[in-house]
Structure 1
Amino acid sequence: MSKSITLHIENLCIQTIIGILEKERCAPQAVEVNAEITYTYTDAFLDYVEICNLITSSLQNNAYGLLETALLDIAKMLKNHSTKIQKLTLHIKKPTILESCIVGASLTQDFTQTP
């Protein structure tokens, strides 16, 4: 019998080029990624180390201008990696870009809903 399990990844720290400001395009900055990935669990599981490596590779191999583009690419990549994924929520935060606050963006995608 299959069950839905949610995998949690919190505070995945990555150095990457992301943003549209001139200073963000010249040198990598720290970002934090959080993810909640709900998937159908039978006898196979989602490997959180592999998921973290996929997210890290995506952010380090692409110089994203917008957080939104990065979120959409990562969601698509993860769904292509595992068709078991039912729903995911991703957050990307920039903890050092502004002194007064932490900014970021998030995406929730439910793959069980038909468009």
Structure 2
Amino acid sequence: MREQVKVIKLSGNLNATTSQDFRQNITTILESGAKIVLVDFQDVTFMDSSGLGALVLAFKTLRAADSKLVVCSINEQVRILFELTNMDKVFEIFPSQEAFNQVLVSQN
């Protein structure tokens, strides 16, 4: 059985202003029964501590519901923020959606 994957494609900034919409998206996806949520950062230009906080909260919320959150396509600024906060050890990070899909297919 193929696990249900939902993709959230973010764009622009992930900060205090936009993180509320992100959290609402996570709640909606969780209610739909997704087992894996892939957050695609390809079009994200900037993420601050509020955005990172929203991502961590989403990670914890999904984990509590026996779901998984993974990220892909992070830019240099986001990668540095992840490394400075050691979140690169917490989140499973893929270089692209294609790389994630290849791993998912190889596991099934």
TM-score, structure 1 normalization: 0.30
TM-score, structure 2 normalization: 0.32
In our comparison, the structure showing a higher alpha carbon Rg is: 1
